[in-house]
Structure 1
């Protein structure tokens, strides 16, 4: 008999929630592996065996492992008994306590082993027994794995007190050719699986665990999600070629559709070309979010009237399925067309007037009030960047108007996008129309910032007002609560400034935002600036920037976030220099010395009071370094500045090795402190490099 056999566990259910299905399957797989490992049952993995891993479809969760040991290894046990002084009397004979322990464990007391711990030597009973058969443990392992699944709201069915994410109907547990004994979720383990609900209405008999995938394939079920996903992708590609275009296949939609079908078949469909004058984003949203269809773009890259649906069967009459798909999409498209036409009649300026009747926040007024504040901020930003202030004001005045549109009322995800269409239709400049849309970028984590200069101005102004207003109104995020999405706004603002290469004074901008706030609310500007910087910490951490390097720059609080980014890149380069650790430690030592000084430190060094060769050498080297780095700092060449200052490592180390800073002579002491302060101040022109010191 083989010592390792393939293992299959399959739980058959009613249709599982598609978005949760991959995580459920992975958790089930991990739980089975954990259960096997806890029982010391060997599992051999072979990367070439593509069957191994979590398997799933809408009606099943399965685990396949190509080689699992048929038996546990020999089980060793150890039971601690009495200590020697208790187990043996003065004559070395066993006491009743020792005899009782030996009898309980079925071992003659003379054959008991002995171990020593902190309290002394004691008796121990050691034994071994054959491991249990894996087959007998599989039901228990399966039950444990299912119990550990992330199911927030399990449901009950029938008259039994059993709960799971969906009602269960069959259970297969096979080790090789053998069925495991036992029950799970009220089901007795069997070898009978089930095929496709319509293509294969009878059971699927499994002779051996290893034939699982092929047996289900013959029953019109692709149980391997990887194989099924590629089939979906291939079906979409073939249908798109037939249409003479290319399908849009978002990864999330592909995965969701993959979890909705067992035997995918693409159906090429179409809608009336007249609908294409509706904002394409509305059509795409309807196809993807509501109906799980894949839009098709023509050879020119534009949205076409074709789309692809994925059926869960290979129909003898695909035309009927096509009619059904086309039928369900038309009412939503017709609604979108109606809303679009009605909005065009009303016009964006009229929509903007309606913002005066919509409360933004009780302490911050209406959406019209917010629009006015954003317009002031946008104009100030445009002026600072040498851009058209009037265009910035106009874009800000119209940016929120589409919130009053019927289109956004039906399709909230079209905020800004609808405004762009309406602005274009009204003859607004292209830059203004684009900015209305781009003001929302980045819309989500990983999304790009606004592309156009005016779009970036509007995106910053919008977020800055939301942040200033939110903090002033007492809406700061707490724990997981962030109703005004201030964390996301802060990161979006910072990213737009940095990635957009915009030279802006953050404290000055916060001050402008604070002045625009309504009477009765006040803003702690430093608190808001700290909050924005704290969002940057996570932003840079995701890029692999160590916290010590971030803190080194944050400590000097550059007014410009773009300047912050430049300093951070310079610090990263400095940290790689061999001189960095020594200079960081020296700066830390300097800071500690200066922090303890209670009397004023002279602003300049008196060369006549430099009596030691080491301090004279350091002063000379520092004077040259200061002269060399003055023009570099003026150009914000922080890389060059730190590289030049790194040359001070030798003189600085020599100074600390040979010179007593806190000399008895006050004048000499103050002169040395002045020398150290010059060093610290020059490094601080870039960053607090002492933060890099590990000591």
Structure 2
């Protein structure tokens, strides 16, 4: 086996795009490993992972073979009837094949396949040195990286995410000669731009991480991320609070620094009068700062910035951070104060001139449709219909606020805050006003994957109505998602609707809700109906249940049965998941599939009643008695939706069902007996399918009756 040596590749660049940085590093890492693997180069990747900072992408592997293994090749040649003439001499076809292989024809071997015997050229050559392969490996890895708009620099006719300034390629202690993106490989890297602005030389790949650490560069993103978190938490604790560390902001900061240093900063307390969500949004999205919360979880007047330097004058860095944030906060306070003067109710006056969608009218039209839907479903959800209607009519007003105009992510949040201050809502009691205000925020929940549904019943009613209108309108306007395009986020809205109905325990029939929403639309798509939208919503639930361990056939078994609501659907799915663990489940599912096949092929309409006097076999009498008992036992269980108990009771029918099919021929010549047996099977199928279409659970093909 070839000797193994550590391998280091570092590509040094100007500052890489922060949001793309982790993906670029992963792609570079994967590309290098894939290139080595394609060439059969043995390697040990124990502990290896993408290494990167804003100025470098690196791959460090603990052990990579010095050479490829022997390269074996096999090229198939002509069959004997084509390769040799009647005297056994080579034809031109065989001579040409041998010449191309570089050997005499007598040196060729023979092999046999389904068509007969043929010539074959087999060769073995020594593997190439890994050092000779790395130039191509790196070129392929770079070419495969996801760079949508490569930059060009100088007079080069090639591009990359950012201009490249250095390249390190070491195998063991030796430099591997590679020319890539206009730079030639060396053992020289560079340290921190400000704190160690001089070359860093590596004698071995094993020195890489430690040598850069000494040069004030943390090249391991996990180490750097942990340092940022610890620094930020320490600074917040010094201020007597705790840091709000958003995972996305943490990742962005991790892509901005090579040597993180947390700086505790502050702002005037007067800005805390502004909704804290606006201040947090400014700090996080615009400046990549970390807010500091007090003991009650409220925003304090402190925040933490992360510098890419240990400054000798930290106060100046702090002043700089505070200086950039104050104008943004001042703008937010101005917007807030002006919005309070106008009031939430008055903001709605302008919605009739704002287009929601060309075919669907204005935002005021949409709010009116949401209000009608919310009012119609409120009673069934235990909510005051008048309050639901009023909240729905106010739900879009904050779109006209200055605050949401500047901070779109505050839609709903601003509505909640402004509702609590709106003088026009003085006729609403304090408790109802608070409930209404909360619902204006909750209407958009769940906002993203992993977010919870609206906590209040009023918020859930608004969320249901909002999504029903969005889905019905989107389909009516011809905006159904195609491929990756989903301009109205209909997939997300469908899942949000389903989750709110299901997790909120709303015993409402989805298809009926969709029909109401479709009827309210100003346009109707001729080729799209409520059924299409309902099916679209259920499709979104496939992934939801898959994440919770339900198999696709279990989902389909319930989808193809009659169910009243999404909570009812969920109860049936859970029951099916319990049923499939029973030893009788598979055989009973297969039997039901067989029954369905028999009934589907029956001529004429199957009778609804069974005549016991026409039984001729003891097995059919036993089945009829057992089925009657099961029906009597499961009727009350179905009434109270104890579906698991229903299926467990039906599982007890397996022996008599098996015996019936072993001893009874259904499709006999006697028409009366045949019809009676079909009626018995219909009753059995109806009861077996009372919870789910359990035939979908069978892996068998189903026998013929």
TM-score range, shorter chain: over 0.9
Offset at residue 504 of structure 1 (A): 1.2
- Give the match for residue 15 of structure 2: 15
3-state DSSP of counterpart to 2:652 = helix
Corresponding residue number in structure 1 for 2:356: 360
Cα deviation for residue 82 of structure 1 reads 5.5
**Corresponding residue of 1:544:** 549
Match of 1:443 among 431, 447, 455: 447
Residue 502 (structure 1) shift: 1.5
1:343–1:100 distance in 2 versus 1, CA, 3 Å:
closer
Residue 458 (structure 2) pairs with residue 454 (structure 1) = yes
C-alpha contact (below 8 Å) 1:662/1:669 kept by paired residues: yes
2:356 is paired with a residue whose SS is: strand
Displacement of 1:462 in angstroms is 1.1
Q: Does the aligned pair in 1 maintain the 2:476–2:523 contact within 8 Å? A: no
Q: How far 1:127 sits from its partner (Å)? A: 3.6
Quick one: distance in 1 between partners of 2:603 and 2:543? 37
2:530 to 525, 531, 536: 525
2:645 counterpart SS class:
helix
**1:168 lines up with 2:164 in the alignment:** yes
1:135 pairs with 125, 131, 134, which one?
131
- The correspondence of residues 143-292 of structure 1 with structure 2, limited to 5 A, is 143-292=139-288
Which secondary structure does the structure 1 equivalent of 2:447 belong to?
A: coil
Question: How far 1:129 moved relative to its partner?
Answer: 3.0
Aligned equivalents of 1:268 and 1:463: distance in 2?
Answer: 42
| CA distance in 2 between partners of 1:484 and 1:138 (Å) | 47
1:551-566 paired onto structure 2 within 5 Å: 551-566=556-571
Following superposition of structure 1 onto structure 2, how do residues 15-34 of structure 1 map, counting pairs within 5 Å?
Answer: 15-34=15-34
Alpha-carbon shift at residue 88 of structure 1 (Å): 6.0
Q: Does 1:5 align with 2:32?
A: no
Query: CA offset at residue 537 of structure 1?
Result: 2.2
The match for 2:613 is: 608
Residue matched to 1:651: 656
Matches within 5 A, 1:219-618: 219-426=215-422, 429-518=433-522, 524-618=529-623
Distance 1:520 1:64, change over 3 A: closer
Displacement of 1:155 after TM fit?
1.2
Contact residue 228 and residue 260 of structure 2 kept, 8 A: yes
1:314 is displaced (CA, Å) by 0.8
Q: Please state if 1:60 is matched with 2:65.
A: no
Residue 481 of structure 1 and its aligned partner are, at CA, apart by 2.8
Q: Residue 507 of structure 1 contacts residue 559 of structure 1 at CA under 8 Å; is this kept in 2?
A: no
Q: Report how far residue 624 of structure 1 moved.
A: 0.4
How many residues are matched? 691
Instruction: Give distance in 1, aligned partners of 2:537 and 2:343.
Output: 37
Distance 1:85 1:362 in 2: 73
Structure 1 residue 475 displacement after superposition: 3.0
Report how far residue 318 of structure 1 moved: 1.0
Cα distance 1:53–1:363, how it changes in 2: closer, same or farther (>3 A)?
closer
Q: Deviations over 1:132-166 (max 9, x none)?
A: 22122212211111111111111111012121111
Q: 1:74 aligns with which of 65, 70, 86?
A: 70
In the TM superposition, residue 679 of structure 1 has moved relative to its aligned partner by: 0.9
* C-alpha contact (below 8 Å) 2:417/2:437 kept by paired residues: yes
Shift, 1:497, TM fit: 0.8
Bigger mean CA offset, 574-583 vs 468-477: 468-477
Cα distance 1:95–1:388, how it changes in 2: closer, same or farther (>3 A)?
A: closer
- Mean Cα displacement is larger for which, 365-374 or 293-302? 365-374
Residues 396-424 of structure 1 deviation map (CA, whole Å, 9 limit, x = unaligned): 12111101100000000001000000011
What is the distance in 1 between the residues matched to 2:596 and 2:196? 78
Alignment root-mean-square deviation, CA: 2.2
- The offset of 1:110, in angstroms, is 5.3
Q: What CA deviation, in whole Å up to 9, does each residue of 1:223-282 have, x standing for no partner?
A: 111111111111111111111111011111111111110111111111111101101111
CA distance in 2, matches of 1:87, 1:2: 40
Range that drifts further, 87-96 or 116-125 = 87-96
CA contact (8 A) 2:607 2:675 kept: yes
For 1:128 and 1:517, the matched residues in 2 are separated by 73
Which stretches in structure 1 are left out of the alignment for 5+ residues?
Answer: none
Instruction: Give the Cα separation in 2 of the matches to 1:88 and 1:467.
Output: 72
3-state SS of paired residue (2:351): helix
Deviations 1:75-124 (A, max 9, x none): 33444456556666666677787677667756566554333334444444
**SS across alignment from 1:163:** coil
Q: CA deviation at 1:476?
A: 2.6
Determine if contact 2:166/2:183 at 8 Å carries over to the other structure. Answer: yes
- Quickly say closer, same or farther: Cα 1:552–1:76, change in 2 above 3 A: closer
517-526 vs 380-389, which deviates more? 517-526
Distance 2:56 2:662 in 1: 73
Q: CA separation in 2, counterparts of 1:555 and 1:400?
A: 38
> Structure 1 residue 57: deviation in Å?
0.4
Q: Tell me the TM-score normalised to structure 1 length.
A: 0.95
Q: Deviations over 1:448-473 (max 9, x none)?
A: 10011111111111111222222333
CA distance in 1, matches of 2:3, 2:34: 20
In 2, are the aligned partners of 1:567 and 1:687 still within 8 Å (CA)?
yes
Shift of 1:521: 7.2
> Deviation string for 1:631-689 (max 9, x for gaps)?
11111111111111111111111111111112222221111111111111112321111
C-alpha spacing 1:674/1:100, structure 2 compared with 1 (3 Å): closer
State the alpha-carbon separation in 2 of the partners of residues 2 and 606 from structure 1.
83
CA distance in 2, matches of 1:104, 1:474: 60
How far apart in 2 are the matches of 1:114 and 1:577? 57
Q: Do 2:475 and 2:525's aligned partners in 1 also have CA atoms closer than 8 Å?
A: no
* Contact 2:11/2:166, CA 8 A, preserved across alignment: yes
Query: Which moves more between the two structures, 516-525 or 185-194?
Result: 516-525
